[in-house]
Amino acid sequence: MNNNQPIGVLDSGRGRIPLVEEEMFNHQITKIIAKEYLQPLLKKRIDTLVLACTHYPLLKRAIKKTVGKQVVLISPGKMTAKSLVKKFKNRKLSSYQKRGDIKLYFTDSDLPNTKEVEKYLGKKIYSSKIRQVSLDKI
């Protein structure tokens, strides 16, 4: 990563979320769409790409194949989770209960049901509240 280069948002990433929601991680259309969207960024000679959406790490294989080894991929999700765990522990807010309530917030109007969420998380959910939110009101 070249620290002397300007940093900027070159693409908002719209349009790729349905690929994840439909579990098309390794589908041919995903590779085609990745190439279509990433080519303009590669023409700008980017050296780093931040996967700044919770969906994009699931497309990491297709993205990496498209951008190649010369572009560093940063997935902030793990760093964010580790930072939150540390803050919770420091403030004695962490809980080691095996079960708890989970609140899920989605911006999509087509809300998933509990079974879909369990499949995505790979865990049984015993108590949940699924709500739609608008980012404009946050």
Domain coordinates in residue numbering, the chain? 17-76, 93-132
Q: Does domain 17-76 have CATH number 3.40.50.1860?
A: yes
User: Amino acid letter at 33?
Assistant: I
Look at residue 65 in the predicted model and tell me its pLDDT. Answer: 93
pLDDT in tens, 60-99: 899 999 999 999 999 888 788 888 888 888 888 776 666 6
What percentage of residues in the chain have a pLDDT greater than 70? Answer: 84
Mean pLDDT of the chain: 81
Give the number of other CB atoms < 10 A from CB of residue 81: 10
How many residues in total does the chain contain? Answer: 138
| 13-17, 80-84, 126-130 — most confident range | 80-84
Q: Which of 55, 74, 60 is nearest to 26 (CA)?
A: 60
pLDDT tens sequence across 110-124: 777 778 778 777 778
pLDDT at site 4: 67
